[in-house]
Amino acid sequence: MIHSLIAGGGAGSALTHFDGSIGRIVSVTGSKAIVLLDSPRDGSVRNIQDRPEMGTLLAIDTANTVVLAIVSALSVPVPAQREGDNEIWIAELGLAGELWRSTDGGAASFNRGVTVYPGLGDRVRVATKAELSLAFCGSSARSVRVGCIRQDSTIDARVRVDDLLGKHFAILGTTGTGKSCTTALILRSILEDHPAAHIVLLDPHNEYATAFGELAEVISPWNMQLPLWLLNFEEAIEVLVGDPERKHEIEILQELIPLAKSRYAAGRQAENQKLRRGILDHGRFTVDTPVPYRISDLTGLIDERMGKLENKRDLAPYRNLKSRIDTISQDGRYAFMFGSLTVYDGMAQILSRIFRVPVQGKPITILELTGIPTEIVNVVVSVLCRMTFDFALWSEGKVPVTLVCEEAHRYVPLNSNAGFEPCKRAIAKIAKEGRKYGASLCIVTQRPAEIDPTILSQCNTVFALRMSNDRDQAIVSSAISDTGSGLLEFLPALGQREALAFGDGVALPVRIKFDELPRDRLPRSSTAKFSEKWQMSVGDENFLDQVVERWRTAGIGNSLDVNQQATMLAESIHFTGGRVESMESPEPQVRAPQSNGGYRAVPAPQPVSSVPASAGMGATVRPAGGSLLRRETPPPTPAMGVATAGSDRQSLRDRLLKPNAPR
């Protein structure tokens, strides 16, 4: 093809500029075209305005449309031998879209793809500012500004919210290229126009709280509530057993967890006695049913089984299991899972806090994962991802949720032997099926080559920041269309706050410059300044003592705040329309509260019933009538002189804190 262009180059080189054109089409193949650029009239260096660059958007006029094409390659097949000789200059284009001229005098419209192809000899010119604006900003779809395009800094770079979120997106780039800032910028831009959003951000480095301020509900291991009974069986096995090869212990749990759930739900002493005799029907509960059960019931059932064993050599798996359960349930690092004062059905309250229903001015939830024991952090992520999909599914798409997965290569690695399989399945389920139910996914990673390609292939919009690794570039190349493939040559040379954007969330493949975030909205992810810190020694003589104290505190976990737990318990009863029933339960171990510890009370929605005035510290919360489902009955109007639900809740809270106080 090049030889034929060279052979016909003489005539082309004699053409002069007209209507701002810079060359003519000499080849069209599918979505690609080749342009023979005009030669300078006097043999001098071409005017800089006439020189297309890599990534420049060019325009080709046809009968009814203006075809827009992206420069993907530039070459000089036969350089001049002597100064002043004409050369053949070639530009390779990727056909990207077209502007349709209005026949009734209305505004032109932009469409991706090409229906009317340019013909041989059609003139090519640099797209005008009006055409760029129409292509990138003229869509009627809801969009938000994130920066400007590289070709013309006066043209907004905008992302289409529905296409971006509905079809998943990825933010990729080498360490230090600004992925966290890009993530914060895009999410903040969306939140500014959508104050009732529902975004869940997994934050493994505790860096995003500063970026969202009062817009965020920040959940950390020290104020998190993720009780063990919310885990499915695979997740519970990872916590309680830790080794999938310990088959006997797994079989024990598979039998006893449904019994523990039934014991909690039984509600009456007679049913408990039947349960102990093994005649209560517990088939309605499975190991995966998300209903409460007490660890004390589980260990009690293990003790009962041990007492019935005739062969004492069979005791080992029971003893090992009970020992591990006792150990981790008393470990302060697991307080968010085992540290509640009492077991109660607060699932609706947990969903309310994580998924921001109602929003209450905080449309994003940041889940800080630093401080969660390393051995179960994947379990926590698995639970959150699984709950995200299930919540979207069972809410019938009425509350669309976006899950932002930072450091995604940790949770969905390419290596099938790495990671936690239930976590990988939960994220993959959102990627493959979430769009149907209103669950979307944002993947953020510095190692695209180490992430499961099935997940990445589901991301229909990609923001690629600077990337120098060949493997990573190959992965990005496989995820985008041929139209923008030429832009990938920019990846190793992109500057700070620059990215290549591809896919459905943007009008065209484009090189963009992101807006700069104010200092008070930057994530806390700056690189350590070695040259500054190494100028002088740390002068504080208590510095190491403080380091050791923080180190040990992180290992132990903060204590639970009794006041806040009591408030949560009281509000949970109103949240589910339940009542408190006194049952035998072990005395809870209450740790002394610390100033920065404890669960945060979450304001409950409108109460649906009042609470009887009889409850103790060892009480177990159970919905009225033995049902574990929320009752959708309207709240009764209090009569004159009758205590309201709010005062009942306060009274209950006081009794929980002071069970022996006079009533």
- Band of residue 24 on the pLDDT scale cut at 50, 70, 90: very high
- Band of residue 607 on the pLDDT scale cut at 50, 70, 90: very low
For 557, list phi and psi in degrees, rounded to 5: 90, 145
CA–CA distance, 582 with 586 (Å, rounded to integer): 12
Length of the chain: 663
Q: Tokens 């810190």 map to which residue?
A: 533
Domain ranges, ordered by start, for the chain: 2-138, 157-227+340-527, 229-337, 562-657
| Per-range mean pLDDT, top range of 106-110, 390-394, 606-610 | 390-394
* Of 51, 56, 89, 90, nearest in space to 71 by CA: 56
What pLDDT score was predicted for residue 40?
A: 62
Is 80 exceeded by the pLDDT of residue 567?
no
Is 80 exceeded by the pLDDT of residue 617?
no
Residues 100-121: what's their mean pLDDT? 79
298-354 residue pLDDT tens: 999 999 988 888 777 788 889 999 999 999 988 888 888 887 667 777 889 999 999
Residues 408-412: what's their mean pLDDT? 92
What pLDDT score was predicted for residue 1?
A: 38
What pLDDT score was predicted for residue 492?
A: 87
Is 80 exceeded by the pLDDT of residue 654?
no
What pLDDT score was predicted for residue 651?
A: 52
* Of 209, 231, 232, 229, nearest in space to 220 by CA: 209
CA–CA distance, 425 with 641 (Å, rounded to integer): 55
Q: What is the DSSP string of 131-167?
A: HHHHHHH--SS-EEEEEEESS-TTSEEEEEHHHHHHT
* Of 47, 54, 43, 4, nearest in space to 22 by CA: 47
What pLDDT score was predicted for residue 68?
A: 92
Choose between 102 and 163: higher pLDDT. Answer: 163
Instruction: Give all strands (DSSP E) within 326-399, no chain letters.
Output: 364-368
CA–CA distance, 290 with 383 (Å, rounded to integer): 11
* DSSP-assigned beta bridge partners for residue 510: 501
224-278 residue pLDDT tens: 888 999 999 999 999 999 888 889 999 999 999 999 888 888 754 444 455 555 5
| Per-range mean pLDDT, top range of 70-79, 80-89, 419-428 | 419-428
Q: Which two tokens stand for residue 587?
A: 């005395």
To the nearest 10 degrees (0 to 180), the angle between helices 315-329 and 247-266 is 60
Range in 89-103, 279-293, 603-617 the model is least confident about? 603-617
Residue 556 three-state SS: helix
CA–CA distance, 39 with 26 (Å, rounded to integer): 15
Choose between 52 and 171: higher pLDDT. Answer: 171
197-226 residue pLDDT tens: 999 999 999 999 999 999 999 999 889 888
> Which sign, positive or negative, has the C-alpha torsion 442, 448, 451, 453?
positive
Share of the chain above pLDDT 70, in %: 73
CA–CA distance, 464 with 566 (Å, rounded to integer): 48
- Say if residues 406 and 206 touch (Cβ distance below 8 Å): no
Is 70 exceeded by the pLDDT of residue 281?
no
CA–CA distance, 147 with 186 (Å, rounded to integer): 10
Residues 408-414: what's their mean pLDDT? 91
Is 50 exceeded by the pLDDT of residue 429?
yes
CA–CA distance, 101 with 115 (Å, rounded to integer): 13
Q: Are strands 109-112 and 90-100 parallel, antiparallel or unpaired?
A: antiparallel
Is 90 exceeded by the pLDDT of residue 590?
no
Choose between 629 and 263: higher pLDDT. Answer: 263
Residues 402-430: what's their mean pLDDT? 91
Choose between 357 and 536: higher pLDDT. Answer: 357
Q: Which two tokens stand for residue 527?
A: 């690189």
Choose between 546 and 443: higher pLDDT. Answer: 443
313-325 residue pLDDT tens: 788 889 999 999 9
- DSSP single-letter state for residue 44: S
- Band of residue 593 on the pLDDT scale cut at 50, 70, 90: very low
What pLDDT score was predicted for residue 104?
A: 61
The set of residues, in sequence order, having a beta carbon less than 8 Å from that of 307 and lying 6+ positions away, is none
The set of residues, in sequence order, having a beta carbon less than 8 Å from that of 48 and lying 6+ positions away, is none
- Band of residue 550 on the pLDDT scale cut at 50, 70, 90: confident
Choose between 623 and 426: higher pLDDT. Answer: 426
Is 90 exceeded by the pLDDT of residue 146?
yes
What pLDDT score was predicted for residue 592?
A: 40
- The whole-chain average pLDDT of the chain stands at 78
Residue 202 to residues 239, 367, 371, 623: CA-CA distances in angstroms? 20, 5, 13, 32
What pLDDT score was predicted for residue 188?
A: 95
Indicate the pTM of the whole model.
Answer: 0.77
- Say if residues 167 and 502 touch (Cβ distance below 8 Å): no
- Say if residues 455 and 408 touch (Cβ distance below 8 Å): yes
What pLDDT score was predicted for residue 122?
A: 92
∠ CA 335-340-342 to the nearest 5 degrees? 155
What pLDDT score was predicted for residue 216?
A: 94
Residue 552 three-state SS: helix
Q: Are strands 143-149 and 510-514 parallel, antiparallel or unpaired?
A: antiparallel
- Say if residues 207 and 523 touch (Cβ distance below 8 Å): yes
Residue 144 to residues 216, 248, 299, 366, 490: CA-CA distances in angstroms? 20, 55, 54, 22, 25
Residue 362 to residues 205, 296, 520: CA-CA distances in angstroms? 21, 36, 18
Q: What is the DSSP string of 363-432?
A: -EEEEE-TTS-GGGHHHHHHHHHHHHHHHHHHTTTSS-EEEEETTGGGTSBSSTTSS-HHHHHHHHHHHH
On the CB side of 414, CA atoms within 13 Å amount to: 11
- Band of residue 512 on the pLDDT scale cut at 50, 70, 90: very high
Residues 131-139: what's their mean pLDDT? 84
CA–CA distance, 276 with 623 (Å, rounded to integer): 23
* DSSP-assigned beta bridge partners for residue 124: 23, 60
What pLDDT score was predicted for residue 141?
A: 72
Is 50 exceeded by the pLDDT of residue 115?
yes
Rg (CA), the chain: 32
Is 80 exceeded by the pLDDT of residue 29?
yes
For 344, list phi and psi in degrees, rounded to 5: -150, 160
On the CB side of 601, CA atoms within 13 Å amount to: 18
Residues 481-505: what's their mean pLDDT? 82
Residue 517 three-state SS: coil
What pLDDT score was predicted for residue 403?
A: 97
Residue 313 to residues 249, 319, 324, 443: CA-CA distances in angstroms? 14, 11, 19, 50
| Per-range mean pLDDT, top range of 200-214, 486-500, 589-603, 624-638 | 200-214
Residues 85-96: what's their mean pLDDT? 86
- Say if residues 191 and 363 touch (Cβ distance below 8 Å): yes
Is 50 exceeded by the pLDDT of residue 9?
no
What homologous superfamily does CATH list for 157-227+340-527?
P-loop containing nucleotide triphosphate hydrolases (3.40.50.300)
